[in-house]
Chains A and B, each alone.
Chain A
Amino acid sequence: MENTTIQPNDILTKAETLRGTLSTSFRDEIVKSLYSEAEHIARRAVKTAKEKKYDLDQKIDRLVTSPITGLPIMLILLGIIIWLTVSGANIFSNAIANVLFGIGDWGRAFFNQIGMPWWITGFLWDGVYLGLAWVVSVMLPPMAIFFPAFTFLEDLGYLPRVAFNLDWLFKKTGAHGKQSLTMAMGFGCNAAGVVATRVIDSPRERLIAILTNNFVPCNGRFPTLIMLATVFVAAAFPPALTSFIAAGTVVSVVLIGVAFTFLMSWLLSKTILKGEASAFTLELPPYRRPNVMRILYTSLIDRTIFVLWRAMQTAAPAGAIIWILANIHVGDSNLARMIADWLNPFGLLLGLDGVILLAYIIAIPANEIVVPTMMMVYMGAGMMVNGPGTSAGIFDLLVHGHGWTMLTAVNLMLFALLHNPCATTIITIYKETKSYKWATVSVLITLGTAFLVTFLTASFARLMGWVI
């Protein structure tokens, strides 16, 4: 029986010989007969009544994906969503901030009344609770409006049209056309965008898509952009225009992010990831009537609560750390102030300041909470404000209390757009590439870009004499 044992090689040789007995195009013949069989069966089973109604989808598509009207329509839709978010969030933001910070005042007073030691009161209410209050009041309102609107477009079937409009640009940069789809996913969540790159079969093009995904702001970073655009940029214009200016600013920031995606994809495919773009087909699904209940569920439970919960988990310890740093006194200063002072020269070089960099370092695990963390450092450093959390309160605190200029706001927006991926995304990149090297490269590329761009804008603004 021994000599009948088959070795793997025997099978391969056998297959090789047998292949010789077949006509060279046998594979094509099989595929062809498969296709023609499918065609026959389908023709027998499907009855087409009339060629009607069919063309409404096509008419819309001709408009939405046309080389002339496609991109403007895309921008208008993005503008509308962001404008809705900006003007809607404004209404809720102040109310939520008033309630949450009111509860904080009440809690602090209550703890004082029952004679709690100062450090317990401080740690809990000025540290942990304040961190949570900032995150909720800055992030919740925009998310609760932006997510349902985004999910609506997704369910409608608009995302593949976006991909269709942009894929030729990606191909020009040497990247895969489907990167337009993974980039669109990145607006939802960069970690999800990185996972979505699995639809790209070329490893080279997939890496480009992974490394550049972070250049579009995720849902977690939108609130920061919206808040900065509303409180600072728009504040320089007449009140009637505020919401439009703010929305326009955010759209511009998004476009800058897309521009950097193209630029970096092009650079990568010309340097460390050389190669040609491969061809692919992209299917445009039919438009479908979105299901309202499911949109609300997905966007509010799966996305809003999920993102908010994640932010809160980082904000609570971040608040605690800031409170501790601000309450360890060294001479007549404290640790938080000392670190911020030490970082300050570097921060100023980038058009930011030491406190922003300190907040950024503390918030590394979930860097979409940079702005809330920064607020806590400013307040933790001993500043009291009127109406914290409201637009006026924030403006007052930053501009009058800490010397912010338009440059600080603009550069912080650029920094938030370009800086390194959050911890979850970095871990996802490592998991998807199974390589520490590429995970590190993704951090270096983004961080390097963020430093370089903010440094250049700051230098330019100073050179022009706009700021000191």
Chain B
Amino acid sequence: MTSKKTTPPTEHCDSCPAFYNLEQMGFKIGNFDRVVALAGNPNTGKSTLFNALTGLKQHTGNWPGKTVTRAEGGYQFNGVRYKLVDLPGTYSLLSASQDEEVARDFILFGQPDCTIVVTDATALERNLNLVMQVMEITDKVVVAINLMDEAKRKGFEVDARSLSRDLGIPAVPVTARTGDGIHTLLATVADVISGDIKTKPLRVEGTPEFQKAVNELVPMIEQIAPGIPNARWLAIRLLDGDSKVQQALLSGDLAQRVERQKQADAQFSRKMSVEGRQ
């Protein structure tokens, strides 16, 4: 990884709030500079991380499927204001239940500046499937390896560097419950957004025929839906015969999708800041 000007000199600085200029902004998300999405498998501690960053008290619970809608909050880090969107937990971006669709649509069309995929250090293999699916959609991904304390207790050791190298995106060990590693995570997110860290996500290449097919479809999709951020992913879905994507394409929905998601997000943020709770 390239050297980062925001990296703290020692590890101990991680636990010192004064050092890393983190300001929890709760619901004050009227003006923000960047949007960061929190994705991950169910019950990996997304909401705990969300609360640690925003100072909100989004209800957390130790069971999968607790968050079925998304929550939003804000934090300020080194003078930049971020809007953080906590998405429902999901194992895959390919399935159909409503909570999983919320997550998929936001990563696809909400155009977050960066997506943090929160993973469970004790069940890394299963969690990586989602990480790799998110990497199919966007380059701007950071993996947070959460529950490091639990892993240690169970006798696991996770090598974040090996993971970063293999995935081609930064992987940061954190313990959201105690706040360990949060500073490094935020600095990494900032650097990925600014481009100081260049990601090179590992993607499944497939056969040459498959690559050729994708490459033929991508420009067509981009022409019909200008500004669509994830033409490659949509091309794969079309090759697979995903009826939802087909429908969206036929109805002209796809073209308006980015715009619509933006409006929906703006409306949601307004509602959140007025009502103060969901």
A294 within 8 A of B: yes
- B-side binding surface: helix, strand, loop or mixed? helix
Our pick among B59, B122, B125 for the contact of A298 (Cβ within 8 Å) is B59
Chain B residues closer than 8 Å to A7, beta-carbon distance: 224
B:172-224 near A, CB below 8 Å: 177, 202, 204, 206-207, 209-210, 212-213, 216-217, 220-221, 223-224
Our pick among B131, B213, B220 for the contact of A21 (Cβ within 8 Å) is B213
Q: Contact flags (1/0) for A267-301 with B, using CB distance below 8 Å?
A: 00000000000000011011110110010011001
Residues on A facing B (Cβ under 8 Å): 6-12, 14-15, 18-19, 21-23, 26-27, 29-30, 33-35, 37-54, 154-157, 159-160, 178, 181, 195-196, 198-201, 282-283, 285-288, 290-291, 294, 297-298, 301-302
CB atoms of A41 and B154 under 8 A apart: no
In angstroms, Cα B99 to Cα A54, docked, is: 31
With A41-B166, A160-B64 known as contacts, the answer to whether A18 contacts B217 (CB < 8 A) is yes
6 intermolecular pairs with C-beta atoms under 8 Å apart: A8-B224, A18-B213, A26-B239, A37-B132, A38-B131, A201-B97
CB atoms of B239 and A15 under 8 A apart: yes
CB atoms of A45 and B239 under 8 A apart: no
Closest Cβ of chain A: how far from B120's Cβ, in Å? 9
Closest Cβ of chain A: how far from B263's Cβ, in Å? 20
Our pick among A181, A291, A302 for the contact of B57 (Cβ within 8 Å) is A302
CB atoms of A11 and B249 under 8 A apart: yes
With A22-B239, A42-B125 known as contacts, the answer to whether A47 contacts B132 (CB < 8 A) is no
In angstroms, Cα B163 to Cα A200, docked, is: 33
B267 within 8 A of A: no
Chain A residues closer than 8 Å to B97, beta-carbon distance: 198-201
Chain B residues closer than 8 Å to A46, beta-carbon distance: 124-125, 156-159
Chain A residues closer than 8 Å to B117, beta-carbon distance: none
In angstroms, Cα B64 to Cα A297, docked, is: 21
With A11-B224, A34-B204, A198-B97 known as contacts, the answer to whether A18 contacts B239 (CB < 8 A) is yes
Chain A residues closer than 8 Å to B235, beta-carbon distance: 15
Our pick among A30, A47, A178, A195 for the contact of B159 (Cβ within 8 Å) is A47
Chain A residues closer than 8 Å to B126, beta-carbon distance: 38
In angstroms, Cα B30 to Cα A46, docked, is: 41
CB atoms of B157 and A47 under 8 A apart: yes
Residues on B facing A (Cβ under 8 Å): 42-43, 57, 59-65, 68-69, 95-99, 122, 124-126, 128-129, 131-133, 150, 153-160, 162-163, 166-167, 177, 202, 204, 206-207, 209-210, 212-213, 216-217, 220-221, 223-224, 235-236, 238-241, 246, 249-250, 252, 254
CB atoms of A195 and B68 under 8 A apart: yes
In angstroms, Cα B241 to Cα A116, docked, is: 77
Our pick among B98, B124, B150, B217 for the contact of A11 (Cβ within 8 Å) is B217
Our pick among B64, B125, B220, B240 for the contact of A14 (Cβ within 8 Å) is B220
Closest Cβ of chain A: how far from B134's Cβ, in Å? 12
Closest residue of chain B to A303 (Cβ to Cβ) is B59
Our pick among A6, A195, A285, A290 for the contact of B224 (Cβ within 8 Å) is A6
With A12-B250, A38-B129, A44-B166 known as contacts, the answer to whether A19 contacts B239 (CB < 8 A) is yes
CB atoms of A45 and B166 under 8 A apart: yes
Chain A residues closer than 8 Å to B177, beta-carbon distance: 291
CB atoms of B209 and A21 under 8 A apart: yes
CB atoms of B206 and A37 under 8 A apart: no
Chain B residues closer than 8 Å to A44, beta-carbon distance: 159, 162-163, 166
CB atoms of A198 and B63 under 8 A apart: no
Closest Cβ of chain B: how far from A31's Cβ, in Å? 9
Closest residue of chain B to A301 (Cβ to Cβ) is B57
Our pick among B65, B124, B210, B238 for the contact of A26 (Cβ within 8 Å) is B210
CB atoms of A30 and B204 under 8 A apart: yes
Chain A residues closer than 8 Å to B223, beta-carbon distance: 6
Closest residue of chain B to A290 (Cβ to Cβ) is B62
Closest Cβ of chain B: how far from A59's Cβ, in Å? 14
Additional pairs, 13, CB under 8 Å, beyond known A38-B132, A201-B95? A6-B220, A12-B250, A15-B235, A21-B213, A45-B158, A45-B166, A47-B158, A154-B62, A155-B61, A196-B68, A198-B68, A199-B68, A302-B59
Our pick among B43, B154, B240, B250 for the contact of A53 (Cβ within 8 Å) is B154
Chain B residues closer than 8 Å to A21, beta-carbon distance: 209, 212-213
With A6-B220, A22-B210 known as contacts, the answer to whether A198 contacts B99 (CB < 8 A) is yes
In angstroms, Cα B126 to Cα A157, docked, is: 20
Closest Cβ of chain B: how far from A316's Cβ, in Å? 22
Closest Cβ of chain A: how far from B107's Cβ, in Å? 17
Chain A residues closer than 8 Å to B156, beta-carbon distance: 46-49
In angstroms, Cα B213 to Cα A23, docked, is: 12
With A8-B252, A154-B61, A294-B60 known as contacts, the answer to whether A26 contacts B206 (CB < 8 A) is yes
In angstroms, Cα B96 to Cα A22, docked, is: 25
Closest residue of chain B to A291 (Cβ to Cβ) is B177
Closest Cβ of chain A: how far from B226's Cβ, in Å? 12
Closest Cβ of chain A: how far from B40's Cβ, in Å? 13
In angstroms, Cα B163 to Cα A12, docked, is: 38
Our pick among B167, B209, B216, B249 for the contact of A12 (Cβ within 8 Å) is B249
Our pick among A6, A9, A287 for the contact of B250 (Cβ within 8 Å) is A9
Our pick among A9, A45, A51, A285 for the contact of B162 (Cβ within 8 Å) is A45
Closest Cβ of chain A: how far from B63's Cβ, in Å? 5
Closest Cβ of chain A: how far from B245's Cβ, in Å? 10
In angstroms, Cα B166 to Cα A44, docked, is: 9
Chain A residues closer than 8 Å to B246, beta-carbon distance: 12
In angstroms, Cα B60 to Cα A159, docked, is: 13
CB atoms of A54 and B154 under 8 A apart: yes
In angstroms, Cα B64 to Cα A161, docked, is: 11
With a 10 A CB-CB cut-off, give which of B60, B125, B216, B235 has the most chain A CB atoms.
B125
Closest Cβ of chain B: how far from A282's Cβ, in Å? 8
Our pick among B43, B128, B206, B252 for the contact of A41 (Cβ within 8 Å) is B128
CB atoms of A10 and B163 under 8 A apart: no
Closest Cβ of chain B: how far from A277's Cβ, in Å? 15
CB atoms of A199 and B99 under 8 A apart: yes
In angstroms, Cα B129 to Cα A33, docked, is: 10
Chain B residues closer than 8 Å to A159, beta-carbon distance: 61-63
Closest residue of chain A to B126 (Cβ to Cβ) is A38
Per CB-CB distance, the 6 closest pairs between chain A and chain B, nearest first, are A201-B97, A42-B125, A38-B128, A18-B213, A157-B62, A15-B238
CB atoms of B62 and A52 under 8 A apart: no
Chain A residues closer than 8 Å to B221, beta-carbon distance: 11
In angstroms, Cα B159 to Cα A26, docked, is: 32
